[in-house]
Structure 1
Amino acid sequence: MIAALLAQPTPDPSPTVGADCSADALCQQVFDWTGIPWLAESSFWIFVKPLRILLIFAIALLIRWILHRTIKRLVRTSTNTSVPTILKPLRERIPSAPADPTAVVPERRRQRAEAIGSVLRSTVTAVVFAIAGLLILSELNFNLAPLIASAGIAGVALGFGAQSLVKDVLSGIFMLLEDQYGVGDTVDLGEATGVVEAVGLRITTVRDGRGVLWYIRNGEIIRVGNKSQGWAMVIIDMPIGFAGVEEATSVMRAAAASVAEDADLAANLVEPPDVLGVEQITVDGAVIRTIVKTTADGQFEVGRELRRRLTEALDEAGITARIAATRMYPRPAAPNGEGDTRGGAT
Structure 2
Amino acid sequence: MPQSPAALGAPSFHLALDAARAAAGAQHYPAGALYVVATPIGNLADITLRALHVLALADAIACEDTRHTAPLLRAYGIDGKPLIALHEHNEAQGAQAVIARLHAGERIAYVSDAGTPAVSDPGARLVAACAAASLRVLPLPGSSSVTTAISAAGLSGDGHFVFAGFLPHKAGERQAAVATLAQEPRAVVLLEAPHRITALADALAALGTRLVTVGRELTKQFEQIATLPCTELPHWLAADAQRQRGEFALVLHPAPAATKSADAERVLRLLLAELPTKSAVKLAADITGAPRNALYERALALKSTGQ
Q: What is the TM-score normalised by the length of structure 2?
A: 0.26
Whose RCO is larger (CA < 8 A, sep 6+)?
2
**Which structure carries more helix by proportion?**
1
**Rg (Cα) greater in structure:** 1
TM-score relative to the length of structure 1: 0.24
